[in-house]
Amino acid sequence: MRDSIIIGSGPAGISAALYLNNLNKDVLVIGKDYGQLTKNDIIDNFYGQFPINGQDLIKKGIDQAKNLGIPVIMDSVLNVVKVDDYFIVTTIKETFEAKTVVLTTGKPRLPLSVPGYRIFKGKGIHLCATCDGFFYRKKKVAIVGSGPYMEQELSVLENYTDDITIFSENVLYEHPKYKVITERIKSFSGDKRLSHIHTKENTYETQGVFVAIGFPTASELALKLGVVTEHTNILVDEHMETNIEGIFAGGDCIGGKLQIAKAIHDGLKISSGVNTYLKKLKQ
Ligand SMILES: Cc1cc2nc3c(=O)[nH]c(=O)nc-3n(C[C@H](O)[C@H](O)[C@H](O)COP(=O)(O)OP(=O)(O)OC[C@H]3O[C@@H](n4cnc5c(N)ncnc54)[C@H](O)[C@@H]3O)c2cc1C
């Protein structure tokens, strides 16, 4: 079992990996893309670095870690589960185990930015089938998404109901069992709780909606684990540890200055926090 799995190969994740590697810890970094710096923006305020394309800077960080023998893989994390005092991390391709998990998944985004989303979030709109699927036993629900993450959430949801409609949001998608609506969602409505989904073409009745678009962001992974967040930022203590023992977080996903220098500093602090935790775990 590894000492730590770091989710996110941006500045915060790679920095945490470099320092943990210095402390002789066995770490694995999983990242799905180049994070915030996926676009070709020029970075000209990073110490010791002439203006550089964001992607190139991220790639340099990943190469630096790999050069030191740290495994950095490109994959998307779908789920993290705590079992006793260790964690199981599921990606599209594999399953890994670690004593600690570090969330450096960048700035959480709003999964669905349409009228009614914020009003009915928690009142019919949910982001975690494992957390809230139970409340929809034998009820009529919708799931939004079309990729492996949606399929994983769907596999949880179908333990509670088989009255499920998939809203694929303009993506051509077929499912052998459930009805698929490809129309894009325009808004949600209801009285005290969500009751309808509106597309440009139609209105659909529903009792619940589970959003699983793309891949889980920091907020969604946090929700699955019961990690406390505030305004989508993950809350951490002075050791960068969340309310769940063994789960640490840093970089943009905990808020504060959204800058590379701050993310790297968070990575350093995470390494100390993880090291102290692993020492305690040994005793
Ligand atoms: C347009 C733009 C310009 C910027 N310019 C500057 C600048 O000039 N100077 C500066 O200091 N800062 C700049 N920033 C901010 C800077 O990019 C961020 O502060 C920094 O990248 C944060 O690092 P991070 O490691 O926290 O997150 P990110 O760099 O966003 O990395 C997040 C990582 O998490 C991974 N991830 C997310 N979800 C999953 C999942 N489910 N499974 C697997 N991996 C996952 C991503 O693939 C990525 O590897 C800019 C940001 C933007 C958007």
Alpha-carbon gap, residue 107 to 249, rounded angstroms: 12
Measured in residues, the chain has a length of: 283
Alpha-carbon gap, residue 38 to 49, rounded angstroms: 18
pLDDT digits (tens, 9 = 90+) for 2-55: 999 999 999 999 999 999 999 999 999 999 999 888 776 888 899 999 999 999
Q: What is the pLDDT of residue 108?
A: 76
pLDDT-derived band at 193 (thresholds 50, 70, 90) equals very high
Question: Which atom of ligand 1 is the closest one to the Cα of 39?
Answer: 1
The single residue listed with the structure tokens 């504060």 is 256
pLDDT-derived band at 227 (thresholds 50, 70, 90) equals very high
Q: How far is the CA of 34 from the centre of ligand 1 (A)?
A: 7
Pocket test residue of 36, 73, 76 for ligand 1, highest count of atoms within 8 A of CB: 36
Q: What is the pLDDT of residue 40?
A: 65
Instruction: Determine how many CB atoms are found less than 10 A away from the CB of residue 279.
Output: 9
Question: Which atom of ligand 1 is the closest one to the Cα of 216?
Answer: 41
Work out the average pLDDT over 257-262: 93
pLDDT digits (tens, 9 = 90+) for 82-132: 998 999 999 999 999 999 999 999 987 777 889 999 999 989 999 889 889
Pocket test residue of 28, 37, 101, 149 for ligand 1, highest count of atoms within 8 A of CB: 37
Q: How far is the CA of 251 from the centre of ligand 1 (A)?
A: 8
| CATH no. for 2-109+217-282 | 3.50.50.60
Instruction: Assess whether pLDDT exceeds 70 at residue 203.
Output: yes
In sequence order, the β-bridge partners of residue 196 are 189, 205
Question: Which atom of ligand 1 is the closest one to the Cα of 36?
Answer: 30
Q: Nearest residue CA, atom 7 of ligand 1?
A: 43
Identity of residue 192? K
pLDDT digits (tens, 9 = 90+) for 128-158: 898 899 999 999 999 999 999 999 999 999 9
pLDDT-derived band at 232 (thresholds 50, 70, 90) equals confident
Q: How far is the CA of 74 from the centre of ligand 1 (A)?
A: 15
Work out the average pLDDT over 57-62: 96
Write down the mean pLDDT value for the chain. Answer: 94
Identity of residue 29? V
Alpha-carbon gap, residue 154 to 214, rounded angstroms: 14
Alpha-carbon gap, residue 228 to 61, rounded angstroms: 29
Name every protein residue with a CB atom under 6 angstroms from any ligand 1 atom. Answer: 7-13, 30-33, 35-37, 39, 41, 43, 45, 76-77, 104-106, 215-217, 251-252, 258-261, 263
Instruction: Assess whether pLDDT exceeds 70 at residue 264.
Output: yes
Alpha-carbon gap, residue 151 to 278, rounded angstroms: 34
Q: What is the DSSP letter of 137?
A: T
Q: How far is the CA of 245 from the centre of ligand 1 (A)?
A: 25
Instruction: Determine how many CB atoms are found less than 10 A away from the CB of residue 36.
Output: 18
Work out the average pLDDT over 152-175: 96
Task: List the single range of 60-74, 99-113, 194-208 with lowest mean pLDDT.
Answer: 99-113
The two tokens of residue 224 are 């699955």
CATH 3.50.50.60 in the chain, residues?
2-109+217-282, 117-211
Work out the average pLDDT over 58-63: 96
Matching CATH number, 117-211, of 3.90.870.40, 3.30.70.120, 1.20.1290.10, 3.50.50.60: 3.50.50.60
Q: Nearest residue CA, atom 1 of ligand 1?
A: 41
